[in-house]
């Protein structure tokens, strides 16, 4: 007689946001731990999911604070068998200071990897979120060393020299850092029988993306023109790939970044050379 699969716990950071919520919606077979910066946002997300029949609990977490992430990790472990974490939490450069982007998008990711590595077990999965923009930053010995060690005291000042106080450029660098952390951690996580992967979305129409489209219609239209598929993506497009990546169907995929961009990166890199 075949054994019944035990429900695994999946943690979703940024779980109250567009992509985080979309990921939760495709994971009804799992116990979900929803976390975000705001207590109210977490409570609202959990309430909505529970009403729709999901097995969901929540806890607020500031991913830039190690103590908060440790608390999240322990809370998650108390929910049952740890199956993985989908780390969608992050900010764009819009309206942010470079230091905030660096701390949230890169330092936070490094802390999440370190703490959830401790509870990673065979067949569990860490899913990181990079971006197509992380692929546009070329290798460089000086800033790559800092991106690989974002919690070091001088890392921000090293990278700041290359971004000219531009939060959007810092976003690009931070997302390159996520790609570097992915590769750097694949082996040690693999030693536990666990996997680590990342996804790099293109132009995705989250609530934030829709707002940007209204404010910068020309820029979004240009991005659509550069996209071979001629359209923007949806949060569900991302969520379905993430669902595959945390499943047993992807059990030989680790250390890899998956582009979910309608093909736009090829166009961006080609345009950058012209």
Query: Count of H helices and E strands in the chain?
Result: 12, 7
* DSSP string computed for 160-216: HHHHTT-HHHHHHHHHHHHHHHHHHHHHHHHTTT-EEEEEEE-SB--HHHHHHHHHT
Q: Is 21 helix (H, G, I), strand (E, B) or coil?
A: helix
Nearest alpha-carbon partner for 47 in 60, 34, 38, 37: 34
d(Cα 81, Cα 194) in Å, to the nearest integer? Answer: 14
Residue 117 a catalytic site member: no
Measured between alpha carbons, how far is residue 209 from residues 18, 31, 65, 232, 271 in Å? 9, 29, 27, 10, 23
d(Cα 161, Cα 155) in Å, to the nearest integer? Answer: 10
Q: Which of 37, 54, 143, 171 is catalytic?
A: 171
Q: Is 129 helix (H, G, I), strand (E, B) or coil?
A: strand
Strand partners, 32: 10, 56
d(Cα 250, Cα 241) in Å, to the nearest integer? Answer: 10
| Angle (nearest 5°) at CA 116 between 112 and 117 | 110
State the catalytic residues: 171
């Amino acid at each position: 007689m075949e054994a019944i699969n035990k429900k695994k716990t999946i943690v979703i950071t940024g779980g109250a946001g567009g992509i985080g919520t979309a990921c939760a919606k495709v994971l009804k077979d799992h116990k979900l731990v929803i976390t975000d910066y705001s207590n109210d946002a977490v409570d609202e997300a959990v309430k909505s999911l529970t009403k729709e029949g999901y097995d969901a609990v929540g806890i607020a977490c500031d991913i830039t604070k190690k103590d908060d992430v440790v608390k999240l990790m322990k809370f998650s472990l108390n929910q049952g068998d740890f199956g993985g974490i989908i780390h969608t939490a992050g900010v764009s450069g819009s309206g942010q200071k470079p230091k905030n982007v660096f701390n949230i998008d890169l330092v936070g990711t490094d802390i999440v990897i370190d703490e959830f590595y401790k509870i990673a077990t065979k067949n569990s999965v860490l899913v990181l979120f990079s971006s197509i923009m992380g692929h546009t930053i070329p290798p460089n010995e000086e800033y790559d060393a800092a991106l690989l060690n974002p919690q070091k005291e001088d890392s921000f000042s090293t990278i700041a020299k290359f971004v000219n106080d531009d939060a959007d450029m810092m976003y690009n660098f931070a997302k390159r850092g996520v790609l570097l952390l992915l590769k750097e951690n694949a082996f040690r996580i693999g030693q536990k029988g666990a996997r680590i992967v990342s996804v790099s979305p293109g132009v995705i129409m989250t609530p934030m993306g829709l707002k940007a489209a209204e404010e910068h219609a020309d820029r979004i239209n240009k991005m659509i023109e550069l996209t071979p598929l001629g359209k923007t993506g949806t949060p569900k497009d991302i969520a379905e790939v993430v669902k595959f990546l945390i499943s047993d169907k992807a059990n030989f995929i680790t250390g890899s970044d998956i582009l979910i961009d309608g093909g736009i990166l090829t166009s961006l890199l080609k345009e950058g050379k012209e």
